[in-house]
């Protein structure tokens, strides 16, 4: 949700800022802009639309200078336009600000500033920051930023440059992520690590309430009391190559194909014989976990779907009552959190504002927090008592794919571990489960190798206007996820339902030719699914079935059938989601959609 970058050093400012923005484009792509100080003047280039527009503008009118900031926007306040693009400047063109987040009290601040004769050029909340810093400036940028942030309410990460002090970038973080990259004779800042990796792997993650003064050869941090603080420097493991698309046409395609490898890596890291190893950040003792009264999972979007699958797993295997909630609901509904629950936050980015707020809500009640998170060092990882990393590598495609299957994998392992601690499963059953898990990468690979088959089905249905996705039991959340994948990247309406619910209303929508995707793999609810498919067929729906290899019955039921390898029912979502991801992908491509950058979306949702 908006990406910010900053650079101070001797490299070409245009290419460094642009390269950083390309890496952050997944955070928003409504408009973009950059600013630098050239011969004591603030130079700003900004433009509505995709980053390519900014690249073209910079090719025509490049910047120079040794200090610069940049921004790629996901619009909150003010429509996407040239004026509303960041950087925003004050009246005197002396201060330029890029901002990720929301200033909630910007109306009153703007009113105040207008009364004091400030002239506003945009409809953004961000512009008030530039005017306030300018007004507070008395020869010290750090002081004027400090004074300004004490007036701001909301969540924000900002980077500020000033014509009077072209040797520094002042940054501040409260509620939105910000990382500093440490180079040689140069330093950088960015909303996310990928924007730094081309230059350095040494980073410092800022915490809420911290202010940084970034110079070419010096970095200083200050806490909320204005005291200087020392901060830990970390070395990032991700390589710059892992951020490339390689030979794939889209990141989404690359990330779907990476899934077998990611599960294999997770198996190697986390299964040691018949024991589980969740890594050094998993700090709960077996005793603590054995005494849990229940589990509360809260997450958003795809991560919520994974959490829903987790509910089935924890209840099925470990017999632990599990609640699943959407974070934006959880945080405002005053949930009962009595007893000794474990509160889980599931998140790819580790920065989702609602999930973070839910976590903080639970923390304020002194509950145990476990996060399943992909991005190391992210806010949610840092604020949790324990974390399990997804080990999925950077996920760049806006539609989450590989993080989802890895989330299910972690939930599966955790539910087996809890079963062991709670004695709901014996050693031999766990051994059997582990054997099944180890077969997953090969089975996933086999599905991906049949991509052409799913593409053919996509070709047949590419012009449909409405889809339903149905499943039962543990594949009901898979149906929800399949529908989400399709709608978010193809813009075709799609809804997921528990198959048994169709007759309670949604079946009224079925007419001749209505496409329905049904997950009917071999399971305890297989016969029930067959009946539900029959009900749809009698109303002349076109049923696309995801079935288990060798199932001849399903062949005659579905208009189209895509087979996946046989597997343990509780593991099946990891397999059954893959054809649905591929189906969504191919329909979107066939409809000419911008698969990696679907409209109105951003990868990291750092606003409420
Ligand atoms: C959909 C998608 C989103 C995210 C959601 C939560 O493909 O990616 O629904 O799952 O915004 O994001 P994280 O997992 O980063 O908390």
Which of 348, 380, 482 to probe ligand 1 with, by most ligand atoms within 8 A of CB? Answer: 348
Q: What are phi and psi of 5, to 5 degrees?
A: -135, 160
Q: What are the residue numbers of the active site?
A: 2, 603
Q: Which atom of ligand 1 is nearest to the CA of 305?
A: 10
Q: How confident is the model at residue 316 (pLDDT cuts 50, 70, 90)?
A: very high
Any atom of ligand 1 within 6 Å of the Cβ of 407: no
CA of 12 to the centre of ligand 1 (A): 34
What is the Cα–Cα distance from 53 to 68, expressed in whole angstroms?
18
Of the candidates 579, 569, 600, the one whose C-alpha atom is nearest the C-alpha of residue 518 is: 579
CA of 350 to the centre of ligand 1 (A): 10
Q: Show the tokens assigned to 312.
A: 């089935």
pLDDT of residue 485: 98
Q: Which atom of ligand 1 is nearest to the CA of 403?
A: 14
How are the residues of the chain apportioned to helix, strand and coil, as percentages rounded to the nearest 5? 40, 25, 35
CA dihedral 422, 428, 431, 432 (to 10 degrees): -110
Q: Would you say residue 602 has pLDDT above 80?
A: no
Inter-CA distances, 22 with 4, 27, 189, 441, 494, Å: 11, 10, 14, 32, 30
Residue nearest to atom 5 of ligand 1 (CA): 301
Query: Is residue 595 reached through a cis peptide bond, with omega within 30 degrees of 0 on the bond before it?
Result: no
pLDDT tens for 42-63 read 999 999 999 999 999 999 999 9
Q: How confident is the model at residue 294 (pLDDT cuts 50, 70, 90)?
A: very high
CA of 313 to the centre of ligand 1 (A): 21
Any atom of ligand 1 within 6 Å of the Cβ of 179: no
Any atom of ligand 1 within 6 Å of the Cβ of 521: no
Question: Is the separation of the CB atoms in 180 and 204 below 8 Å?
Answer: yes
Query: Is residue 582 reached through a cis peptide bond, with omega within 30 degrees of 0 on the bond before it?
Result: no
* Mean of per-residue pLDDT scores for the chain: 95
Element (H, E) at 170: strand 169-174
Q: Mean pLDDT over residues 421-438, rounded? A: 96
Q: Mean pLDDT over residues 241-259, rounded? A: 92
Q: Is 465 exposed, middle or buried (0-12, 13-18, 19+ CB in 10 A)?
A: exposed
Any atom of ligand 1 within 6 Å of the Cβ of 298: no
Any atom of ligand 1 within 6 Å of the Cβ of 355: yes
Check residue 341 and report its DSSP letter.
P
Percent of the chain at pLDDT above 70?
100
Q: How confident is the model at residue 473 (pLDDT cuts 50, 70, 90)?
A: very high
pLDDT of residue 595: 95
Q: Mean pLDDT over residues 28-32, rounded? A: 89
Q: How confident is the model at residue 175 (pLDDT cuts 50, 70, 90)?
A: confident
Half-sphere exposure of 533 toward its Cβ, with a 13 Å CA cutoff? Answer: 28
Q: Show the tokens assigned to 578.
A: 């893959």
Q: Mean pLDDT over residues 306-325, rounded? A: 97
Any atom of ligand 1 within 6 Å of the Cβ of 596: no
pLDDT of residue 163: 98
CA of 608 to the centre of ligand 1 (A): 13
CA of 333 to the centre of ligand 1 (A): 21
What is the Cα–Cα distance from 478 to 596, expressed in whole angstroms?
21
Which of 177, 252, 301, 354 to probe ligand 1 with, by most ligand atoms within 8 A of CB? Answer: 301
Of the candidates 174, 129, 133, the one whose C-alpha atom is nearest the C-alpha of residue 154 is: 174
Any atom of ligand 1 within 6 Å of the Cβ of 579: no
Q: How confident is the model at residue 244 (pLDDT cuts 50, 70, 90)?
A: confident
What is the Cα–Cα distance from 412 to 524, expressed in whole angstroms?
18
Percent of the chain at pLDDT above 90?
89
Q: Would you say residue 240 has pLDDT above 80?
A: no
Any atom of ligand 1 within 6 Å of the Cβ of 578: no
pLDDT of residue 95: 97
């Amino acid at each position: 949700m908006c990406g910010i970058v900053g650079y101070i050093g001797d490299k070409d400012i245009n290419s460094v800022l642009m390269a950083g923005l390309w890496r952050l484009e997944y955070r928003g792509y409504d408009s973009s802009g950059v600013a630098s100080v050239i011969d004591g003047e603030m130079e700003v280039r900004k433009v509505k639309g995709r980053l390519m527009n900014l690249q073209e503008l910079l090719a025509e009118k490049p910047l120079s200078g040794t200090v610069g900031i940049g921004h790629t926007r996901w619009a909150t306040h003010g429509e996407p336009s040239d004026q509303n693009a960041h950087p925003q400047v004050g009246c005197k063109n002396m201060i330029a600000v890029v901002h990720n987040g929301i200033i909630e009290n910007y109306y009153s601040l703007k009113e105040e500033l207008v009364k004091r004769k400030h002239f506003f050029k945009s409809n953004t909340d961000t512009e008030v920051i530039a005017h306030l810093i300018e007004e507070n400036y008395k020869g010290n940028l750090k002081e004027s930023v400090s004074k300004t942030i004490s007036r701001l309410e909301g969540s924000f990460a900002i980077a500020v440059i000033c014509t009077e002090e072209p040797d520094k970038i002042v940054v501040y973080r409260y509620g939105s992520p910000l990382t500093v990259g440490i180079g040689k004779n140069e330093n950088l800042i960015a909303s996310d690590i990928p924007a730094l990796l081309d230059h350095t792997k040494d980073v410092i993650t800022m915490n809420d309430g911290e202010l940084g003064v970034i110079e070419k050869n010096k970095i200083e941090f200050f806490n909320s009391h204005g005291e200087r603080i020392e901060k830990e420097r970390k070395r990032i493991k991700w390589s710059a190559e892992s951020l490339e698309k390689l030979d794939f046409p889209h990141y989404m395609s690359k990330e779907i194909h990476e899934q077998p490898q990611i599960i294999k890596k997770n198996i190697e890291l986390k299964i040691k014989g018949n024991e589980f190893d969740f890594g050094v950040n998993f700090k709960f003792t077996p005793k603590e976990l054995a005494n849990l009264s229940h589990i509360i999972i809260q997450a958003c979007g795809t991560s919520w779907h994974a959490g829903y699958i987790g509910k089935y797993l924890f209840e099925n295997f470990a017999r632990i009552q599990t609640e699943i909630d959407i974070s934006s609901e959880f945080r405002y509904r005053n949930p009962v959190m009595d007893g000794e629950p474990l509160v889980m936050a599931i998140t790819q980015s580790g920065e989702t504002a609602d999930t973070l707020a839910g976590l903080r809500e639970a923390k304020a009640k002194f509950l145990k927090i476990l996060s399943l998170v992909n991005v190391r060092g992210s806010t949610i990882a840092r604020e949790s008592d324990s974390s399990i990393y997804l080990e999925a590598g950077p996920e760049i495609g806006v539609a989450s794919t590989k993080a989802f299957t890895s989330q299910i994998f972690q939930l599966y392992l955790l539910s087996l571990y809890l079963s062991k601690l709670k004695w709901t499963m014996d050693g031999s059953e766990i051994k059997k489960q582990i054997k099944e898990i180890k077969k997953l990468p090969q089975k996933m690979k086999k599905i991906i190798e049949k991509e052409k088959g799913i593409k053919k089905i996509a070709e047949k249905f590419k012009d449909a206007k409405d889809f339903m996705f149905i499943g039962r039991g543990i594949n009901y959340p898979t149906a929800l996820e399949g529908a989400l994948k399709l709608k978010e990247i193809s813009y075709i309406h799609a809804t997921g339902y528990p198959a048994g619910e169709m007759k309670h209303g949604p079946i009224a929508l079925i007419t001749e030719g209505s496409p329905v995707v049904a997950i009917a793999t071999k399971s305890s609810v297989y016969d029930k699914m067959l009946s539900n498919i029959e009900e749809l067929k009698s109303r002349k729906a076109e049923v696309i079935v995801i079935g288990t290899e060798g199932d001849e019955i399903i062949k005659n039921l579905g208009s189209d059938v895509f087979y996946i390898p046989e597997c343990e029912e509780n593991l099946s979502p990891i397999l059954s989601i893959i054809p649905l991801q591929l189906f969504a992908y191919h329909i979107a491509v066939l409809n000419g959609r911008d698969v990696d950058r679907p409209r109105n979306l951003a990868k990291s949702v750092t606003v409420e």
